[in-house]
Amino acid sequence: MNPNDIIQIGPLAMALDRLVAVGLILAFLAGMDWVVRRFRVPSWQPPGLALLAGLVGARAAYVWVHKESFALDPVVALQAWLGGWAWSAGVVTAALALVVILRKPRPIAAGLGLLAALSAVWWAFAEGQAPRSPMLLPSSLRIDTAQGGSITAGDLRGRPVVLNLWASWCPPCRREMPMLIDAASRERRAALLLVNQGEASERVSTFLQGQGLSARHVALDQTGNLGVIAGSPALPTTLFVAADGTIRQTHVGEISRVQLDIAIRALVQPDGPLR
């Protein structure tokens, strides 16, 4: 996800792709309502079931493709609101469901035509959101460690790095921190650093001590330069940086252990399954 693809209203931020997906779902329901009335489809043949089938199919296919990551925390497979869908599988499942539900040729043709049109809109949107040229972190960018030292982005070159931007006042940041700190101590494929944005070291230390969290993998960016350079409009934001210092993926919002693993796999194995 590109940080510019975030819609922010005050303190609230929403990914543009999710907003578009919701709009297309509503358009499908409205269009199918017209199909039902136009072709007098019996009420016991609700086309909304096709939408449900499509969503289940899209989620199930995504979980299957990333089954090794979901094995880390299987419950996350049910937390679909966190994201993760194989949309092509969802469209195929919804199309099959429409054929079974509508039964007659004319409503089937109308329903499939609507589904195809909305799928084309999504495809065009997704193509427009294709990854741009990776952003290179300036090697001179300096951040302080919670232990009192300092490092630069140049020091991080040579291996993949995950940078989580957070603040103590941010509720989703607080929720994900225990998992991220635990992952940082276990992860061997990439370094993981939790970079506080804009807070004094005393405040960060007090927060970590109060939560019983280790400061070993915590850093301080009191000027917020990292967030500005990355174009991050909201917290938490997680940056996945390749060994050459380029930002390959940005996750805006709370991240699960499964999503973290999927992104790290894509970072160290660029030719792996599509996200």
pLDDT single digits (tens) 107-124: 999 999 999 999 999 999
Predicted structure pTM score: 0.81
**Distance, CA of 78 to CA of 91 (rounded, Å):** 20
Tell whether the model's pLDDT for residue 217 goes beyond 80: yes
| Average pLDDT rounded to a whole number, residues 238-261 | 91
Whole-number Å distance between alpha carbons of 166 and 220 = 10
Distances (CA, A) of 196 to 45, 66, 217, 251: 53, 30, 11, 16
pLDDT score for 57: 96
CATH architecture of 135-268: 3-Layer(aba) Sandwich (3.40)
pLDDT at 105: 94
| Angle in degrees, CA 14, 178, 255, rounded to 5 | 25
Give the rounded percent of residues in the chain with a pLDDT score beyond 90. Answer: 59
Domain map of the chain by residue range?
3-128, 135-268
State yes or no: pLDDT of 256 exceeds 80. yes
